[in-house]
Chain A
Amino acid sequence: MIATDGLTKLYGNFAAVRELSFAVRPGEVMGLVGPNGAGKTTTLRCLAGIIPPTHGTVIVAGYDMAVNPLEAKRKLAFFADEPRLFDYLTVRQHLEFTARLYKAKDAATRSAELLELLELKDKADQLPTELSRGMKQKVAIACGFLHRPQVMFFDEPLTGLDPLAIRRTKDLIVQQAKQGVAILISSHLLHLLEEVCSHVLILKRGEKIAYGTLAQIHSQFSTDGKDASLEEIFIRLVGEDAGK
């Protein structure tokens, strides 16, 4: 699971994230939404141990990121907004490298499974320069899934993908959640988040302004008895910050 308490990230006097506390339990998918500059990527990076928070604790799969970062990181996977691959490693070599990085068990079998699942088998010996963006995204996903993480962080995972790839990525995320993975997704595609998320956390200027299950958010912020969409709720809550 993911748990954070009082997470704060300061850049000088500017607070990118302020006093953020929440938890994502195994099998839950939390959507992290907010306008540009709300602190979503900073939050994800702090939680994944990429950058240190200024204050607050981060617990990943039972390990405190500040105390036991290597064990915590062994249990997580982070998917950046752009699939950034090594120029001179083939698809298969990316998987071999990741397996060594995480000391993944049964890596060969798992790699073969993932190459099959993500339709990368034919591309296994190609370099990233020969792949489309969607294919690169699949390679990044395969690398992230390889060590069977208990926690996954997705930063804008659906941007730039074609409709088929969006559907497949959504299915993969839901499938992982069903297998007990705790997932945190940041995205601007609110209607898609509604389809995959069980929980939502809305950030505005680094602060939490709404947090709960989708049903709670709907009941809390819908007006006139009508069930507002997440997009309508988002625009209502974020107000003038939306679209910046």
Chain B
Amino acid sequence: MNSALRYLLARSLANGLLARLKRLRQPKYLLGAIIGGTYFYFYFYRFLFRGGLPTGVQGPSFFPDAFWPDVGAAILLVATFVLSWVLPASRAAVGFTEAEIAFLFPAPISRRALIIHKLLKSQFALLIISVLFTFITGRFRAGSEAWFRMGGWWIILNTLSMHRIGASFALQRLRERGMADWSRRAAALFALVALVVVAEMTRRSLPALPSAGPDIAGFLAQLTRTGPLPYVLAPFKWIVRPYFAHSAHAFLATLAPALGMMVLHFLWVIRADVSFEEASIAAAQKRAAFLAAHRKGEMRVIGKSEKAKTPLWRLRPSGFAPLAFLWKSLIKFGGRRTFGLWATFFAILGAGALYVHASIGQQMPGPLVVTAAIVGIGCYVAGLISLFVVGQNATAQLRQGMAAMDLLKTYPIPGWQLALGELLGPLVLGTLLQWAALGIGAVLAASLFAKIHGAQRIITLSACALGVVLPALNVSMSILPSAAALYFPGWFRPQEAAAPGIENTGLRLIVGISQFLAIAAALLPALFFAACAWFAFGKCVPHFQWQAIAAVCTAAIVLALEVALGIAWLGDLYDQYDGSSE
């Protein structure tokens, strides 16, 4: 390898690690690193490398071990085919940074050396991803197997990565020979369909499909070992087998074919003399634009061109200022078209839910019941997650707005209106989505549990209660993080939220814990006064429904008061904000 490129890789790695270590001198990163490290140790490391979970916790394996490499090979085949031959554009782009392009492309370095540099450089990232995937997929496996899993992931990811590069070169050649993208995609899909047809024909030549249980595993294993499928799957099986090894001996035994496949891919990639420079420059520019937008807090999709969007309503030149911010946020969300699409989506789901509700007492088809249950559970889960997400989105919007603080502070608007305006868009959108999910979930849940006495009443009441308190709860969820962002802008920069590393994972955990504390802090007074109202009202009108209404209204009023105070507080922070001190 070129000594300059070797120097670049070694120095960049060493300096990068050093810079991260130096960053730990800042308390926020040190705290993040401690919390992130503790999280990784307790959640993953001790299970992986200290003998795994106790034997009793590990569930019995439903399928025999020999079954999994076949499944893995089939998944890898489809992933390789779709990711490398169907989805990509024809232009062969190799991922270089703008600095690499500026220094290396005009330099006396051959294409082959550039590709080798790229492959070597990707090793560090692939190793990190392998470790991460091992954490995720091997958390509950016994100790020493973690190393085989990591090695297995590294081989799979490396081969897949080289296959994608090699395929992109091949596609570029096909394009240069006049093959259009659509015909190439059609040919690739045709090949995939042909493989499925062959598999189906093979299946028909076998005995009938067993109903359930480990026999399915045997049947599928037989399927992948009959007809042409074993030959098609063989190379993919060689690649995935180290991942499924249970012992050092088994791992070493499967290593040679897997490494052989890697070497073949390596030779395929470096021997291709394809002009990848232009596409690489374009890709680097897009990536740089994306990163620049991300640093500003804008989540723009790479390569997506923005078009003018129709606002939901016509903004009058005078009126309540926060409404202008809301108007702007709704345009950013996608304007009338996106809003209409979401409204249609929820209207269809709502109509379906009402249909299910209308069918209570009748014999409903099994698939409908299953679908209704899935949608209902999905709605409730989405609602639960959204409790955290809506507040976070609102805070993120406020932080993005802080980038233009110089402009905002020149507006003749009081600080509380600025704060409310920045938060309003995500809060209104989030609450509308929550109401829709809650309504549909409640209708479906009431339908599915119709036979249980009193269930409908409880579900309806709780949905209404949640619906009433949600808007205020969402605002209160965003107040503490927003205040923290205004108090310590250097600590809460959005661009660092998605950065990799243990210390950043720790920072994200801190933000998550803060959110949890925020919801607890907001709910405690509301729950206290709601309980007071419940008992006080119960003495006057001892009826469950009226007591509940009184309690919910009290909770909503308390939350609304908290929100009003919180917005006023944010307004003060806006007025006092001094970004120059950061």
Residue numbers of A with Cβ under 8 A of B are: 45, 48-52, 69-71, 73-74, 76-78, 80, 82, 84-90, 93, 96-98, 100-102, 127, 140, 143, 153
Contacts and interface: CB of A to CB of B under 8 A. Distances in A.
Contacts of B100: 86
Nearest to B18: A88
A70 B104 CA distance: 12
B277 A76 contact: no
Contacts of A77: 106
Contacts, number: 87
A57 B104 CA distance: 22
A85 B97 CA distance: 10
Contacts of B101: 50, 84
B282 to A, nearest CB: 10
Nearest to A98: B103
Given A69-B108, A71-B108, A88-B19, 13 more contacts: A48-B105, A50-B101, A73-B107, A84-B98, A86-B8, A86-B12, A88-B11, A88-B15, A89-B8, A89-B12, A97-B4, A98-B103, A127-B19
B16 A76 contact: no
A74 B16 CA distance: 29
Given A80-B102, A84-B101, A101-B103, A70 B11 contact: no
Interface string B550-578: 00000000000000000000000000000
The 3 residue pairs across chains A and B that have the minimum distance between CB atoms: A100-B4, A78-B106, A88-B15
Interface in B72-109: 97-109
Nearest to A129: B19
Given A86-B12, A96-B7, A74 B108 contact: yes
B200 interface: no
A58 B405 CA distance: 51
A74 B281 CA distance: 21
Interface of B is mostly: helix
Contacts of A49: 105-106
A101 B16 CA distance: 21
B277 A101 contact: no
B107 A102 contact: yes
Nearest to B284: A84
Interface in B1-55: 2-4, 7-8, 11-13, 15-16, 19
B102 A76 contact: no
B275 interface: yes
B278 interface: yes
16 contacts: A49-B106, A50-B105, A50-B106, A52-B277, A71-B108, A74-B108, A78-B106, A88-B13, A89-B12, A89-B15, A97-B103, A98-B4, A101-B104, A102-B107, A140-B102, A153-B106
Interface in B108-153: 108-110
A73 B277 CA distance: 15
Interface magnitude class on chain B: 20 to 34
Contacts of B110: 70
Nearest to A153: B106
Contact of B99 (A52, A71, A76, A85): A85
A71 to B, nearest CB: 7
By CB atoms of chain A within 10 A, which of B3, B8, B98, B109 has the most? B8
Nearest to A76: B106
A84 B275 CA distance: 22
A77 B105 CA distance: 11
A96 to B, nearest CB: 7
Contacts of A71: 108
A50 B107 CA distance: 9
A77 B106 CA distance: 7
A52 B275 contact: yes
B15 A73 contact: no
A89 B100 CA distance: 12
A48 B102 CA distance: 11
A85 to B, nearest CB: 6
Contacts of A70: 108-110
A61 to B, nearest CB: 12
